[in-house]
Amino acid sequence: MKCYFKRVQSLKHKNIEVIYESRNIDYVFSTIEDLTRLVYEITSAIAETLGLNIEKLLFSENEPIGLSYIVYKFHTLFKKVENAYCSCRLVAYKDKVKLAVCTLDNAEERS
């Protein structure tokens, strides 16, 4: 698995502070709980890097993309941080997660 952590200035206007992307994951899953564990591992790494602590991890929804792909969406809230949250999307092909993209969003600045 290859992971990238970056700030993208062009997304600042959408209040996206940082992006964390993991490719070539090939994580086999069978339940939402399996995916929740994977997202917890990813968001824990993000939280540690940024000096944050996870308060709550929530499964949001899933959305089919074509016949064989599904995007699973999660939100992570952090302790002592009111307006920022981490939004993670897992792209799965059949029963394998292929890609994870997480953004750290600052909701306070949204209009």
* Secondary structure (3-state) at 31: coil
DSSP single-letter state for residue 4: E
**Tens digit of pLDDT for each residue in 16-68?**
777 889 988 999 999 999 999 999 999 998 888 888 899 999 999 999 999 99
**Tens digit of pLDDT for each residue in 62-87?**
999 999 999 999 999 988 877 778 89
CATH value at residue 53? 3.10.129
Best CA proximity match to 102, nearest among 17, 9, 2: 17
User: Which residue has tokens 């929740």?
Assistant: 36
Distance CA 66, CA 78 (A): 33
The pLDDT-based confidence of 111 (bands split at 50, 70, 90) is: very low
* Range(s) of the domain holding residue 31: 2-109
Query: What is the number of domains present in the chain?
Result: 1
**Residue 76 contacts residue 89 (beta carbons within 8 Å):** no
The pLDDT-based confidence of 14 (bands split at 50, 70, 90) is: low
